[in-house]
Structure 1
């Protein structure tokens, strides 16, 4: 169990809403559907209504700083079944990258690879007390697009399992390109946090509002006024 999963959930019952894709830049076709993940009756482009409203505010704040820039949505709502699909896919990717044989892994190797995967991916848990953040409809993976329509280079791809994906990885770099990665990550974090979101501690691209991770981050900043989560897993 991760620290944020200890936060209590008091479900508010707010409806999930379709993201108006014409108002944002969008990763298309959706990266997980392209791999074969099935979302059932919904699509990945859904969020709780208040979370969607706040995402619109974040984009407006971005455009006050950089006219014509947009938030690019990589992923939003994710059923637990898709979480399981992607966790298994990522495990296999790590095995392949290390040139190992999946059927010949030792138990120690399996354990070490799973630990690496779960630094970035939430466990695909069906326990309503500990839902994966994206399955609540309150988490979104985003990046930036400039006024020419080009995706901004943030230093790593979304979902990259690497220390370079940690939000402040490039903070102390003296390399000019890496300094720029950090500036762009800070810009994204600034507009999202001003709109009410909080960022995943290990992922520069993951933001949430109202779920357990959001409440945990809020409570780190405001220990005297702790919050509970208001969004649980959508079923």
Structure 2
């Protein structure tokens, strides 16, 4: 993504220990997506930038061997896709993200990234008005660019233009 638009912020959590497993999953933090997915995310990012925000990416394409490791930590299909079926992340068609303001500070979304509980669910409404507005801005803008949220995570969006890409085990080169 960064070669297509360097104004995205990257915080690829699975390349660090700052994730729900507490283990580094990726050798380095990179964001890969299928070309049509990346192009539409760039268009959404342009709209956010006009409003004074930027996208911060937490995860993009995820090799399926990593999906197995995540499943070992949290074998709950509400939060981690079954690796034998694969996820949209394993196909290069999903992003985990949030919005930041002009100074790079994350907008408050009610929970941190990868919080597994009802408070992170899309339909959880017992939140302050500003948090509900932030979530709505994120979701409604991304919907315009063919990204759909999942019910249990405010940060996860799947590309939904009727293209199911093949599963991939490819692990990227960090050089």
> TM-score, normalised on structure 2?
0.83
Equivalent of residue 7 in structure 2, options 1, 13, 23? 23
Equivalent of residue 154 in structure 1, options 109, 114, 121? 109
Root-mean-square deviation (CA, aligned residues, Å) is 2.0
Structure of greater relative contact order (alpha carbons < 8 Å, 6+ residues apart): 1
Counterpart mapping for 1:5-154 below 5 A: 18-20=1-3, 22-27=6-11, 30-34=12-16, 35-38=23-26, 44-64=30-50, 66-67=51-52, 69-89=53-73, 91=74, 114=75, 117-125=76-84, 130-154=85-109
> Rg: which structure is higher?
1
Q: Which residue is equivalent to 1:220?
A: none
Aligned residues: 162
Query: Matches of 2:91 and 2:97 in 1, distance apart?
Result: 17
**Structure 1 runs not aligned, ≥5 long:** 1-17, 92-113, 216-226
Q: CA deviation at 1:153?
A: 1.1
1:30-62 deviation digits (Å, cap 9, x = unpaired) = 3212222146xx864100011000011111111
Q: CA deviation at 1:19?
A: 4.0
> TM-score, normalised on structure 1?
0.63
